[in-house]
Amino acid sequence: MTVPPLYGLMQDRPLQISAMLQHAARFNQPREIVSRLPNQVFRYTFKQAESRVRRLAKGLEKLGVRAGDRVASLAWNTHRHFELFYAAPGMGAVLHTLNPRLWEEQLVYIINHAEDRVICFDPDLAPLVERFAPQTPSVKTFIVLCERAEMPANGHNWLCFEDILADDDFAWPEFDERTAAILCYTSGTTGMPKGVLCSHRSTVLHALYAQSAVAFGLTPLDCVLLVVPMFHAYGWSLPYVCAIAGAKLALPGAAATSANIVDMIHDEGVTLATGVPTVWTGVFDNLDETERNLGTLKRALIGGSAMPPSMSRRLREQYGVEPVTGWGMTELSPLGSFTGLTPEIDALPGEAREAALHHRAGRVLFPLEVKIVMSSGDAAPHDGRTAGDVWVRGPCVAAGYFRGEGGEMLDQQGWFPTGDVGSIDEHGSIAITDRVKDLIKSGGEWISSADIEKAATDCEGVAQAAAIAVKHPHWQERPLLLVVPARGAQPSKSAVLEAIRGKLAKWQMPDDVVFVEALPLTATGKIDKKVLRARYESHLMAAAGAA
Amino acid sequence: MTVPPLYGLMQDRPLQISAMLQHAARFNQPREIVSRLPNQVFRYTFKQAESRVRRLAKGLEKLGVRAGDRVASLAWNTHRHFELFYAAPGMGAVLHTLNPRLWEEQLVYIINHAEDRVICFDPDLAPLVERFAPQTPSVKTFIVLCERAEMPANGHNWLCFEDILADDDFAWPEFDERTAAILCYTSGTTGMPKGVLCSHRSTVLHALYAQSAVAFGLTPLDCVLLVVPMFHAYGWSLPYVCAIAGAKLALPGAAATSANIVDMIHDEGVTLATGVPTVWTGVFDNLDETERNLGTLKRALIGGSAMPPSMSRRLREQYGVEPVTGWGMTELSPLGSFTGLTPEIDALPGEAREAALHHRAGRVLFPLEVKIVMSSGDAAPHDGRTAGDVWVRGPCVAAGYFRGEGGEMLDQQGWFPTGDVGSIDEHGSIAITDRVKDLIKSGGEWISSADIEKAATDCEGVAQAAAIAVKHPHWQERPLLLVVPARGAQPSKSAVLEAIRGKLAKWQMPDDVVFVEALPLTATGKIDKKVLRARYESHLMAAAGAA
């Protein structure tokens, strides 16, 4: 006998992005958003922001923007960009965040691929827009994110953002929570970037779990400095999390220099600041130069790539700031794990505690499902050692790329292979040991480039390190280590090798060390190994040949 | 031109209760659940629990339980009851939590109304089940929550819980997230209790927002002592929140005496304990008797009715425990607000800070929408003063009662009038000043019974107080104050009136004070004003007649 299922008698209300801002406007009226502009520090309350966002939504509607239309932003972290984060999805359109640091041909490709109808951009990016505009015919409306007095004078039919704000009698529409909300392209290892299209449902669910005490865990006592660009992986969702948590939000604008970051931490009472490791390297330099401390800062969230142990130590020991990290990607909305103490980790002696807490990428967050797939195809035990391909599943995970690029993304059971390699321990803490494509295949054995880099960045006099696979006549591939010395330091090859020797097995040691002034970075600030691999591909072959 | 909406490309995975326990079993393997049984303290890990829960689900399936069937529990807080919280909804059936303290005729009514098919009960409740079983023909299977050796010997065809556990090869089914999950009846002010039927979607969403840092905010460093019964408003959702937070869970069993509560706090390292105010009154008595402190306890969550100021002061000043409170009801899943600091409240001087933080019911939690409806029908400003009827809306709010009891619950826009009276301030902090039905209408003016009670319980020598409306020949209704003196205290009528005089307007003062040994309680431990109103209805009429 089949009994029909019984449905719950709960209100059938959709999860919508506009509700998060309305919540802040109603129940957190005095809380501020602070936005650093070229010539002033602008500040207003969430309540004032919500009114402007409704005026913006109505303004976009008057310009002909309709449900499903893509409204692109090409902008730094300011209050106007924040307003777009709510206005475009709130009215049923799709916010498409563009990365101004991409190559121009990639930008053109992405805008055309997304068929953006409107583009909103910061005035300093006007020359870039002027160059690519002739190649992006879908864009009908250009809006400059500035006051009228700041409008670039160049004879185009560009609109001023402040001029398009309409009356504030706009009411947020209700619609299906699976409606598209934000489109964010992610740079693949090969080919052109691919678009991840979040829904209202996934964005609100993600904000809810990102706000849990085992992740961002913000309260109205917090002030978040968003150094990570809002165009990068949905700004790590913080424009949304701050609204539902009631936290203050500080936006550093176009000039997110180390000095400005440290200034804002002091001026605004920042408690959590976010950035990729290179941001923190710059902040350290500024603190050294100016002999300042980190003021009210309690936590530094370091993401995008692994946090060097020397960085976490310095934050904690010198500045009393708790380093936290996580693992995520655009396809995960983006958060997958977050640093978190357990009683077992807390009870470990000094170095072991440090390693368990800061050298792994944190505990997996509900409702994300993660499994480690071994080469046998079986799931690995959660023993903290057995590594394999990291697969994920969940309501905030992408099911496919925009317009089907890259083909079918998921397996039959709905799992997405992330391309990361890692392990999970019994506390649910994940360690990302490498990207599948960055592994070095020496003979029949895999060597993790990340392990080599971790050992190297912990060495005195080393600022940054990158290990890459280069061709080898006998072993197919062997590791080459590239090192950027710390300011004023002149480490020798033998000193670097000596320092990392105890931390790696003999066969994992790099075959050579090359000192460079800087490492090439991708548009999102990660080390660009594609470029390095191409540049050093024959480094050992040459050496072998010469020998 | 109408543009069709664009849908997000995220995985279409349902929110399901079983996923919360699976998360804990996978990513928090060592964390424990501790259950105080009559003759032992039982402990196991979440991983072990999940295996037993699958065996239970398979066992129920073998007994013929199908999707949508109601599986009732009549039980105290133990690990077996915890297992039912996951097994029944996890397999697609509905857990129906029964309150053993209800009148027998109400229990019979509820079981028949819900058409429970299975009933699982603690052995000490066997005599109760024996009495009502002949009147509940829908119940086909009786399961006693005990070991075989503990089975009541009475010749019935009752099954032993441990015997029905089957193999652990059961796989959690996937189904629509709107499927019914838990049924919990709430005692109305009139008539029989009405059923609130939660869905998987509402239960998981509620657990996510209850776990935010502005609500329970638990981490793996926490141990929660669940004194609030699991049959009361879904156990305040903590059996679910602990799983996704990775917190330890301590369950005090049938004998949740004050001594056992204090013992468990010390033995298990409890950091958060939950209970109604009377629980804490009992705990204070035990601490006085045994000269103990509250050990590792960091927060005491006091809910169900308003926290007396003397209680919050004593917790903080004498024991270093932070009192927290909230506002909720079964119809809200149940959490609506939670105590939370803001910078503005934190900056207030001593008494004002105390009042802002502890004499209101905390800040409204996203995604719940709340509005205060004035008698004009308009929404009240959030000024912290203007009171009105509290209306709510949201994805975790009931849309109607089971089988349509009580008729249409919502207005045209989907709002539910809660029956509470309150105000909201600019920080989103709600104050519940009364129940609509408990207001006292003196002449044309409303007097809040809660205001009188708050003033009275803060008075030296007063343990409990209840203000009720009684008939008055001239004013229609006037307040009568009933007082339970503190142990050993003998406050006089004039002393009580003198103590509260400065805190109330003259016309709000009670017309008389009556000292009683105890106040009648409802099955959920709240003061039963229905009984008091009936008992004292003519108290002032008699006095007026005698005068």
pLDDT band, very low/low/confident/very high, at A240 (cuts 50, 70, 90): very high
Which element (helix H / strand E) includes A500? helix A493-501
Over residues A213-235, the mean pLDDT reads: 96
Over residues B119-147, the mean pLDDT reads: 97
Mean pLDDT of chain A: 92
Which element (helix H / strand E) includes B203? helix B200-210
Fold matches, A17-338 and A439-546:
no
Contact B11 A427 (CB under 8 A): no
Catalytic positions of B, please? 186, 331, 441, 446
Q: What is the pLDDT of residues B152-176, one digit of tens each?
A: 988 789 999 999 999 989 999 999 9
Tokens 């503190």 belong to B486
In whole angstroms, what is the distance from residue B414 CA to residue B369 CA?
11
Percentage of chain B beyond pLDDT 70 is 97
Q: What does CATH list as the number for B365-435?
A: 2.30.38.10
Over residues A141-154, the mean pLDDT reads: 94
B-chain residue closest to A363, CA distance: B27
What residues contact A524, with CB distance under 8 A and at least 6 apart?
A: A99, A101, A187, A229, A232, A276, A304
In whole angstroms, what is the distance from residue A56 CA to residue A95 CA?
13
pLDDT band, very low/low/confident/very high, at A188 (cuts 50, 70, 90): low
Note if A446 is an active site residue.
yes
Contact A221 B343 (CB under 8 A): yes
A237: Cα separation from own chain's centroid: 9
The residue extents of the domains of chain B are 17-338, 365-435, 439-546
DSSP, collapsed to helix, strand or coil, labels residue A217 as: coil
Does the pLDDT of residue A189 top 60, yes or no?
Answer: no
What residues contact A224, with CB distance under 8 A and at least 6 apart?
A: A218, A238, A242, A247, A248, A249, A250, A270, A271, A272, A273, A274
Q: How far is B340 from chain A (nearest CA, A)?
A: 8
Closest residue to A4, CB basis, from B28, B68, B213? B68
Closest residue to B9, CB basis, from A197, A208, A382? A197
Q: In A36-149, where does DSSP find H-type helix?
A: 46-62, 79-90, 104-114, 126-132
A313-327, A457-471, B519-533: range with lowest mean pLDDT: B519-533
Tokens 């599986």 belong to B71
pLDDT number for residue A310 = 84
In whole angstroms, what is the distance from residue B172 CA to residue B90 CA?
7
Q: How far is A515 from chain B (nearest CA, A)?
A: 41
pLDDT number for residue B181 = 98
pLDDT band, very low/low/confident/very high, at A547 (cuts 50, 70, 90): very low
Q: How far is B207 from chain A (nearest CA, A)?
A: 10
pLDDT number for residue B436 = 79
Does the pLDDT of residue A546 top 80, yes or no?
Answer: no
Q: What is the pLDDT of residues B353-408, one digit of tens each?
A: 888 888 889 999 999 999 999 989 999 999 999 999 999 999 999 999 999 998 89
Helix, strand, coil share of chain A (percent; to 5): 35, 25, 40
In whole angstroms, what is the distance from residue B415 CA to residue B379 CA?
12
Q: What is the pLDDT of residues B467-520, one digit of tens each?
A: 999 988 888 889 999 999 988 889 999 999 998 888 888 888 999 999 999 998
Q: Specify the CATH number for A17-338; select among 3.40.50.12780, 1.10.3720.10, 3.40.190.10, 3.40.50.300.
A: 3.40.50.12780
A84-88, A411-415, B51-55, B102-106: range with lowest mean pLDDT: B102-106
Note if A280 is an active site residue.
no
Contact A211 B213 (CB under 8 A): yes
| DSSP, res B474 | T
Q: What is the pLDDT of residues B206-220, one digit of tens each?
A: 999 999 999 999 999
Which element (helix H / strand E) includes B457? helix B449-457
DSSP, collapsed to helix, strand or coil, labels residue A224 as: strand
Does the pLDDT of residue A316 top 70, yes or no?
Answer: yes
In whole angstroms, what is the distance from residue A130 CA to residue A125 CA?
9
| DSSP, res B168 | S
DSSP A431-459: EEEEEGGG-EEETTEEE-HHHHHHHHHTS
Contact B19 A220 (CB under 8 A): no
Adjacent-strand bridge partners of A95? A71, A182
Does the pLDDT of residue A191 top 80, yes or no?
Answer: no
pLDDT number for residue B2 = 53
CB contacts of B214 in chain A (<8 Å) are: 211, 219-220, 245-246
Of the candidates A111, A106, A78, the one whose C-alpha atom is nearest the C-alpha of residue A96 is A111
Over residues B99-120, the mean pLDDT reads: 94
Q: Which residue has the higher pLDDT, B124 or A355?
A: B124
pLDDT number for residue A450 = 82
Residue A380 identity: A
Over residues B403-424, the mean pLDDT reads: 93
pLDDT number for residue B191 = 67
A-interface mutation test, from B6, B15, B357, B369, most A Cβ less than 10 A away = B6
Q: How far apart are the first and last CA of chain A?
A: 79
What residues contact B498, with CB distance under 8 A and at least 6 apart?
A: none
Closest residue to A393, CB basis, from B13, B205, B397? B13
Which element (helix H / strand E) includes A258? helix A258-268
CA atoms within 13 A on the CB side of B267: 17
Does the pLDDT of residue B547 top 50, yes or no?
Answer: no
CA distances for A187 relative to A234, A236, A414, B143, angstroms:
14, 16, 23, 57
| Entry field: residues in chain A | 547
In whole angstroms, what is the distance from residue B140 CA to residue B416 CA?
36
pLDDT number for residue B189 = 53
B-chain residue closest to A1, CA distance: B66
Contact A8 B178 (CB under 8 A): yes
Of the candidates B174, B172, B225, B217, the one whose C-alpha atom is nearest the C-alpha of residue B341 is B217
pLDDT number for residue B443 = 76
DSSP B207-237: HHHHTBTTTT---TT-EEEE-S-TTSGGGGG
pLDDT number for residue B153 = 85
Q: Which fold has domain A439-546?
A: GMP Synthetase; Chain A, domain 3 (3.30.300)
pLDDT band, very low/low/confident/very high, at A506 (cuts 50, 70, 90): confident
Note if A76 is an active site residue.
no
> How many residue contacts between A and B have a Cβ separation below 8 Å?
306
| DSSP, res B10 | B
Q: How far is B200 from chain A (nearest CA, A)?
A: 8
| ipTM surpasses cut 0.85 | yes
Does the pLDDT of residue B542 top 90, yes or no?
Answer: no
Does the pLDDT of residue A237 top 60, yes or no?
Answer: yes
CA distances for B398 relative to A12, B71, B408, angstroms:
9, 20, 11
pLDDT number for residue A1 = 41
CB contacts of B28 in chain A (<8 Å) are: 342, 427-428
Residue B146: what are its φ and ψ, rounded to 5°? -160, 175
DSSP, collapsed to helix, strand or coil, labels residue B425 as: coil
Contact B246 A204 (CB under 8 A): no
Q: Is A239 exposed, middle or buried (0-12, 13-18, 19+ CB in 10 A)?
A: buried
Compute how many other C-beta atoms are within 10 angstroms of the C-beta atom of residue B210.
Answer: 27
Active-site residue, from A104, A219, A441, A445: A441
pLDDT number for residue B523 = 67
Contact B201 A8 (CB under 8 A): yes
pLDDT number for residue B1 = 42
Closest residue to A426, CB basis, from B30, B179, B181? B30
| DSSP, res B378 | S
Q: What is the pLDDT of residues A89-113, one digit of tens each?
A: 999 999 999 999 888 988 999 999 9
B-interface mutation test, from A10, A140, A202, A206, most B Cβ less than 10 A away = A10
| DSSP, res B41 | E
Of the candidates B197, B206, B195, the one whose C-alpha atom is nearest the C-alpha of residue B396 is B206
Contact A208 B205 (CB under 8 A): yes
A83-92, A117-126, B424-433: range with lowest mean pLDDT: B424-433
Contact B219 A214 (CB under 8 A): yes
- Token pair of A513 as six digits: 């060390």
Adjacent-strand bridge partners of B417? B391
Q: With contact defined as beta carbons under 8 Å apart, do A379 and A387 qualify?
A: no
Residue A321: what are its φ and ψ, rounded to 5°? -105, 130
